[in-house]
Amino acid sequence: MLPGLRKISVLTSLLCIAAIAVFFNSSRNLSVFSLGSHKSSLCSCHKCLTDGDPRFTEINTSSPKPFLSRKIMISEDDFNWWKRIYSERYNFSFYNATVVNIFKTFPPVPDVVEASPDRCRTCAVVGNSGNLKGSHYGPLIDFHDVIIRINRGRTKGFEADVGKRTTHHVMYPESAVPLDNTTHLVLVPFKIKDLLWLLQKFNQGENSAVNSKRMANKDLVMILSPAFMKYVHEIWLSKNGSYPSTGFLTFALSMFICDEVSVFGFGANKDGNWDHYFETLKNKHLRTGAHAGSHEYDVIQQLHKKQKIQFFKGW
């Protein structure tokens, strides 16, 4: 592309993002003045996720609580589904004992903001797809209230395309990255060893200074429930794939903690490879392994077509 045309292309992208941001902002303002005519709405957005779709509302309300807490334990049936992911050798009793120990260290009840008629909470779910390269979505992503990143997703050096802010970071031990003191660590446990890893990482004996040099603020730790993972696999994905990907679990989670959801960085790049924006592609035939990547992508596209979410493809 010629230098002049490239500048025009970038300027056009930025203007589009600015226009979308204005739309989001005006949407919030309009909704505040429209509360009188939409008393049944659960949030103050121009259009809430659950508005006008009984089937969607039914699916959401049938979900188990997305996070583990001291008050809510999973069933043995849910545990047995979960333990098959990695052929877990520990039994249900050991799992329950581990969860009890977990809540001696971490918040017993996750800090989840419920929907409210006087609030519009917007979410940006930022995946790691190579289709974010050159997207210039950074300012739009940073405009959201809640910004969720996944696994090794990073911002430094990629701010123009992926933004600067992070409020929640979803990970499992093998994909863990250190977080600052204000970002929620959302653990996706695929096995009991993942819960034990979490306890070990925040062991007081390892470093007696509270939160000093630790990977995250222990008071901002949240743990995805195996029951929720099973629900997403069976209801949202119709049992496609061996189990949901971390990315799709994050997307499903956003539907329960936000009123408006925007999705970025999901799917293959323009050449059909499932690569990451922060890595140099070496394998030209990357696929999604045990996950039903194409099916997960189709579900997100369908929700975009139904105007339940905003899906930004990047290319």
Residues identified as active-site: 243, 291
Tokens standing for 103?
């809540």
Tokens standing for 150?
């996944």
d(CA 231, CA 178): 29
Main-chain phi, psi angles of 131, to 5 degrees = -70, -5
d(CA 122, CA 172): 24
What is the per-residue DSSP string for 120-158?
--EEEEE--BGGGTT---HHHHHTSSEEEEETT---TT-
Task: Walk across the sheet containing 310-312 and list its strands.
Answer: 221-223, 184-187, 168-171, 146-150, 122-126, 260-264, 310-312
Contact 163, 136 (CB under 8 A): no
d(CA 267, CA 315): 11
d(CA 290, CA 248): 13
User: Which are the contacts of 235, defined by CB distance < 8 A and separation ≥ 6?
Assistant: 59, 62, 63
